[in-house]
Chain A
Amino acid sequence: GAVVSQHPSRVICKSGTSVKIECRSLDFQATTMFWYRQFPKQSLMLMATSNEGSKATYEQGVEKDKFLINHASLTLSTLTVTSAHPEDSSFYICSARTSEADNQPQHFGDGTRLSIL
């Protein structure tokens, strides 16, 4: 149980393109999902918290107009990197919790490798 799926697993595109990444909870409903960014050999940095039916909460320093988040259903959150540039190249990972109770683990997708040429 607690499977989180991301799509696509890898994207290579030209600078200026907008890229959408999907995060789905396959066997549970998730009111809250989280989006992370990870550079090579570094830790995961939380970008934003995606809330079903409401606006996402962004971490300090993350541009909300650059990284658009939509959480339209209890099983799907999307992250759109708008007008992507080479510095946006990174590994983007989403997670979700199976319960809204406090102190529950997050379950992660397998990430999306974004490469901007």
Chain B
Amino acid sequence: GESVGLHLPTLSVQEGDNSIINCAYSNSASDYFIWYKQESGKGPQFIIDIRSNMDKRQGQRVTVLLNKTVKHLSLQIAATQPGDSAVYFCAEIPGGGATNKLIFGTGTLLAVQP
């Protein structure tokens, strides 16, 4: 079936470095994508979203890039801080958004080393 997957299950970075978390999606009809951050024992927290008519969107210290040609999504975190340590999920809403059901990727654990 349709799925959203991640290339790297664990990413370890030094504090202050930039982090890049990648995600591959399989549904070419998906038109809305979201990145969530989940800290241990908590629910996912919205970070940033992007619609398929865009290829880049920036927030505070975060940037999401969308490459529809290769069905690839990435989250860039600038000047990574210890508080950024968490599991990051990409999620998509496939095809038209009519149901607004999210399909989550497998997640990447970001570990920030002091």
| A residues whose Cβ falls under 8 Å from a Cβ of B | 4, 6, 32, 34, 42-46, 49, 93, 95, 97, 102-111, 113
Is the Cβ of A43 less than 8 Å from the Cβ of B107?
yes
Instruction: Looking at the assembled complex, report how far the CB atom of B106 sits from the nearest CB atom of chain A, in whole angstroms.
Output: 5
On whether the beta carbons of B43 and A111 are closer than 8 Å, the reply is yes
1/0 contact trace for B1-43 toward A, CB 8 Å?
A: 0000000000000000000000000000001101010000111
Chain A residue nearest in CB terms to B93: A103
Q: Which residue of B lies closest to A45 (CB)?
A: B104
Expressed in whole angstroms, the Cα–Cα distance for A108 and B93 within the complex equals: 16
Q: Is the CB of A102 within 8 A of B101?
A: no
Across the A-B interface, give the 7 residue pairs with the lowest CB-CB distance, nearest first: A102-B97, A108-B43, A103-B32, A43-B104, A103-B97, A110-B43, A44-B104
Contacts A107-B46, A108-B43 known; A44 to B34 CB distance under 8 Å?
A: no
Chain A residues closer than 8 Å to B107, beta-carbon distance: 42-43
Measured between C-beta atoms, what is the minimum distance from B29 to chain A in Å?
Answer: 13
The contact size tier of chain B is 20 to 34
With A34-B101, A97-B100: A105-B43 Cβ-Cβ less than 8 Å? no
Known A-B contacts A43-B89, A43-B107, A111-B41; A105 and B46 likewise in contact (beta carbons under 8 Å)? yes
Q: How far is the CB of B101 from chain A (nearest CB, A)?
A: 6
Could you tell me which B residues sit within 8 Å of A by CB distance?
31-32, 34, 36, 41-46, 49, 51, 89, 93, 96-107
A103 and B102 form a contact (CB under 8 A): no
Question: Shortest Cβ distance from A5 into chain B, in angstroms?
Answer: 10
**Residues in A neighbouring B98, C-beta threshold 8 A:** 102
Please judge, given known A-B contacts A32-B100, A97-B100, A111-B41, whether A103 and B51 are in contact too, CB under 8 Å. yes
Q: How far is the CB of A77 from chain B (nearest CB, A)?
A: 14
In the complex, are the beta carbons of A93 and B93 less than 8 A apart?
Answer: no
Q: Knowing that A44-B89, A93-B44 touch, tell me 11 more A-B residue pairs with CB under 8 angstroms.
A: A43-B107, A44-B104, A49-B101, A93-B43, A102-B97, A103-B51, A103-B100, A106-B34, A106-B46, A110-B43, A111-B41
